[in-house]
Structure 1
């Protein structure tokens, strides 16, 4: 677990093939290196699934969005699947305005996301 300037990033094993990355707090250009560091340590293989759990996300700027897009691209390159869970409606609305709802799969809960990735 990493905690930096109001951002907490926790990697939680869910099943053998699916991991959950819980991100809570403000994700912005000050805190994104914490998430980047955890993402860099994460190895994704074909058939793996990663749920980024965002129930505790209170703010996300363009730097944070770019990081999530890069994570999605990295998962795709590895043949893995990535889903976002628990995104607050106001932040989800911003993602939709930017057209990111066509890139990401959004789920209400981590469990629904994990089931979809199986």
Structure 2
């Protein structure tokens, strides 16, 4: 994970919007000082649009001493394949890398990610 996660690399395709769960996750992450982005792959004649959402934060030096990995990073994807126009659904479990399990592994639910964010706010962002 880089020091900053850019806002996203593609425009939202016409007729689509970020799923409510993704929007709420991004807002929650940012409220707790985590970095967040959504980036679209708009699709073409042979593929359907999808959006990936990443939330994460680096550990502080003090936190780093207690863990094997350098950050929390969660990547989740919603896709439109097989959905009515303008609709998206979650694709797979997503990927996670955490301080205690730094190798990529299946991500937990969106609700569990929100709980983790709440339990580990960025320094100075205690809620």
In our comparison, the structure showing a higher alpha carbon Rg is: 2
For normalisation by structure 1, the TM-score amounts to 0.27
Q: If each structure's helix is expressed as a fraction of its own residues, which one has the higher value?
A: 1
For normalisation by structure 2, the TM-score amounts to 0.26
